[in-house]
Amino acid sequence: MTNVLAMDFGASSGRAIVGRYENGKIRLDEMYRFENVPIMFDDKLSWDINKLFSQIELGINKSLEKYKVTSLGIDTWGVDFGLIDEYGDLIGVPMHYRGVDTDKILARVSDFITLQDLYDSTGNQIMKINTLFQILSIREYYPDQYFRTRKILMISDLFNYMLTGKMATERSIASTTQLTNPYSKDWSRTTVDNFNINSQLLPNIVDEGNQLGYVKKSFNCGDIQVINVCQHDTASAVLSIPASGPFLFISCGTWSLVGTELNHPILNKKALEYNLTNESGFNKTTEFLKNCTGLWIVQELKRNYHEDGIELSYEEITKIVEDITAKTCLIDTDDDLFNEPGDMRKRISSYATETGQKIPQELGEFFKCAYESLAKKYNETIKEIEDATGESYQDIHVVGGGSKSDYFCQLIANVTHKNVLSGPAEATALGNVLMQLISLDEIENVAAARKIVANSVDIKRFEPLKSKLMEE
């Protein structure tokens, strides 16, 4: 039996999960869980990178207490990165995507290239948090850091470098930068040249499954191979979806990634108009999707009530919401108003006032507003994807934390009028594990891996129900 370790970093937490492959099934054993909380560094919202790396070390050690680990892989959120100097040291700490000032940079993009040409060159959704705009912001506001930089490493690549001493960028995480070509999946020479970025700052891109090297002897953890999995957490999650034909997916965590898996990018006018993105998946497939706000607003509401001394589990929240029969207001979950940490109740109330809607009063009404607004956003995005692809889909695979809520999955089915298949909940960690096993020749390919998932995980099915409330 082969044991592999998935270090899975989400936008708010991380886990060390051992994956065990035996008798045609995958079993996941969570060994360690920790918070991923940004810090203020030099008055900038940043990632506590040294603490996070110490959590990787703890995760490895706790796993070794129970298992012999053959390999490990790290997946993270996209867009953020660290700067490495000529001595191989980290410059400062990586900035947090919610804290980087890119508004002025984004407004001046047309000085370099038209949005249409930028989209054609990269295929990426235009978002102010994208790596390209962050790099330009650092060059503009922190030139001393930029011109000391010799390599730019995405967060998962940075962790791999800290473990092995080797630098490389895995293809799926590179595709979140707005610096790769949507067809070749390599660095886009056009984009790099248009924005006068030194191409030497960008590491070589490697495929998922690449065996990067072994964990340094100084960590005293034996011979553990570090494998470049699909390091963008969305790519890992999609890899684990047990589908044999065309499908839609919603990877639902702090962010929601709503999309489909294709063999080619889509760069037509509708895709640009709808601000849909083309990112890289396994074997250079394209994940045609949109990044939407996910459970972030629910998480912030939960935190708001926690600060008021009201402790709520997610199960308790959905039970309260189910008992709310009255209509509540709907918000645009992607509005900048809801992007930053803060009191979401005040912001929802402000949005409701400005749009002439009923202001929520009770706890359950605020949460119901968040869930129903998310479902509405998913429905809008799915219609855009179907319009841009010219395809119609019947099934939506909901994976990640949101798939654990029967209430939410049924709500999505009702609003989209499509069947919802929920699970796996640990899709990202599972995809991470599967790619390691493929790299180690324990599993033949992704098609075989997805069949193994179908045998290993219970998938719930939710069919749309006619509801007077939904019809209204």
Region 180-199 average pLDDT: 95
Query: Both tokens of residue 143?
Result: 């030139």
CA-CA distance, 389 to 123, in Å (whole number)?
14
Q: Which residue has the tokens 């009923």?
A: 358
Helix (H, G, I), strand (E, B) or coil at 221: coil
Residue-range domain boundaries for the chain? 2-232, 241-423+441-472
Helix (H, G, I), strand (E, B) or coil at 402: helix
Position 333 pLDDT exceeds 70: yes
pLDDT of residue 467: 55
Among candidates 415, 78, 50, which has minimal Cα distance to 237? 78
Region 141-168 average pLDDT: 97
Position 300 pLDDT exceeds 50: yes
Among candidates 260, 270, 231, 301, which has minimal Cα distance to 418? 260
Cβ neighbours of residue 144 closer than 8 Å, sequence gap 6 or more: none
CA-CA distance, 458 to 127, in Å (whole number)?
35
Region 286-304 average pLDDT: 95
Region 229-243 average pLDDT: 96
Region 253-275 average pLDDT: 94
Q: Are the C-beta atoms of residues 420 and 409 closer than 8 Å to each other?
A: yes
Please state, rounded to an integer, the average pLDDT across all residues of the chain.
94
Region 250-254 average pLDDT: 91
Q: Are the C-beta atoms of residues 43 and 99 closer than 8 Å to each other?
A: no
Domain 2-232 has CATH 3.30.1330.60: no
User: Considering the entire predicted model, what is its pTM?
Assistant: 0.91
CB atoms within 10 A of CB 288: 23
pLDDT of residue 274: 95
CA-CA distance, 308 to 310, in Å (whole number)?
6
pLDDT tens-digit series, residues 195-232: 999 999 999 999 999 999 999 999 999 999 999 999 99
Position 471 pLDDT exceeds 80: no
pLDDT of residue 472: 42
Residues involved in catalysis: 233
pLDDT of residue 100: 82
98 band by pLDDT with thresholds 50, 70 and 90: confident
Q: What angle do CA 381, 382, 384 make, to 5 degrees?
A: 65
Lowest mean pLDDT among 95-99, 302-306, 453-457: 95-99
pLDDT tens-digit series, residues 426-452: 999 999 999 999 999 999 999 999 999
pLDDT tens-digit series, residues 19-34: 999 999 999 999 999 9
Position 468 pLDDT exceeds 60: no
CATH topology match: 2-232 vs 241-423+441-472: yes
The residue type at 402 = G
Position 278 pLDDT exceeds 90: yes
pLDDT tens-digit series, residues 334-353: 999 998 889 999 999 999 99
pLDDT tens-digit series, residues 345-385: 999 999 999 999 999 999 999 999 999 999 999 999 999 99
Please state, for a pLDDT cut of 90, what percent of the chain lies above it: 86
Region 173-191 average pLDDT: 96
DSSP state, residue 204: P
Position 421 pLDDT exceeds 80: yes
| Omega prior to 424 cis, within 30 of 0 | yes
Position 470 pLDDT exceeds 70: no
CB atoms within 10 A of CB 24: 9
Position 288 pLDDT exceeds 60: yes
Q: How far is the first Cα of the chain from the last one, in angstroms, to the nearest whole number?
A: 54
pLDDT of residue 53: 97
103 band by pLDDT with thresholds 50, 70 and 90: confident
CA-CA distance, 155 to 74, in Å (whole number)?
10
User: Which residues does residue 32 pair with via DSSP β-bridges, in sequence order?
Assistant: 16
pLDDT of residue 469: 41
In CATH terms, the fold of domain 241-423+441-472 is Nucleotidyltransferase; domain 5 (3.30.420)
pLDDT of residue 228: 98
Among candidates 437, 402, 408, which has minimal Cα distance to 423? 402
